[in-house]
Amino acid sequence: MTLRAHGKSWNEFARWCQARRLKPLPAHPWTLATFVRWCEPRYDYGEIVAITKAIARRHLITGHSDPERHPMVRRTLAMIERRISNKHQRSALFDDDAFSKMEDEPESVEDEQSLSEKPKRRGPAKRVMKSMRSTPKLVRRRR
């Protein structure tokens, strides 16, 4: 990886950290592991490793410890590598011909009428699930 590519990788990591209000230098291993997971759908495994090495290089140049050596980051990289290596063993969720059969069949008028009628609700409304918190919930320490 060239120096220009190292700089580009570092700049992307720094922008990513700033957008999430995290410190890019010195980066916590959790921050780097999370960034690696964020990179997973965007880059292939070789590029992700090169990006982590560029971030580690910037840490070492500035006199900080290497977050890439942390077990959490190593486990995250191993998980991504394992997921990529098992990708070819996965089977398709649906067969290709299942959708072509559905397209060939004409829709009936009865189906359209039954879809337009909404069933009446009885009882209490369903509870809406809340999304995950962006910050951990603060709890008291036990005494």
For the chain, state the CA radius of gyration.
24
pLDDT value at position 132?
66
pLDDT at 13 over 80: yes
Which amino acid appears at position 133 of this protein?
A: R
Homologous superfamily, domain 3-89? Tyrosine recombinase, N-terminal domain (1.10.150.130)
User: How many helices, marked H, and strands, marked E, lie in the chain?
Assistant: 6, 0
Closest-CA residue to 65 (of 28, 30, 100):
28
Question: Around Cβ 32, how many Cβ atoms within 10 Å?
Answer: 26
On the question of a cis peptide bond just before residue 26, with omega within 30 degrees of 0, the verdict is: yes
What number of CA atoms fall less than 13 Å from residue 103's CA on the CB side?
Answer: 5
Tell me what percent of the residues of the chain surpass a pLDDT of 70: 61
On average, the pLDDT of the chain sits at 77
Which carries the bigger pLDDT value, residue 29 or residue 91? 29
Tokens of 114: 């039954």
Tell me what percent of the residues of the chain surpass a pLDDT of 90: 17
Cβ–Cβ < 8 Å for 65, 90 = no
pLDDT value at position 106?
57
- Find where tokens 């209490």 sit: 124
- Global pTM reads 0.58
Cβ contacts of 77 within 8 Å, gap of 6 or more = 36, 48, 49, 52
pLDDT value at position 112?
55
Q: What is the pLDDT of residues 82-114, one digit of tens each?
A: 888 877 676 666 766 766 665 555 555 555 555
Q: What is the pLDDT of residues 63-76, one digit of tens each?
A: 988 888 889 999 99
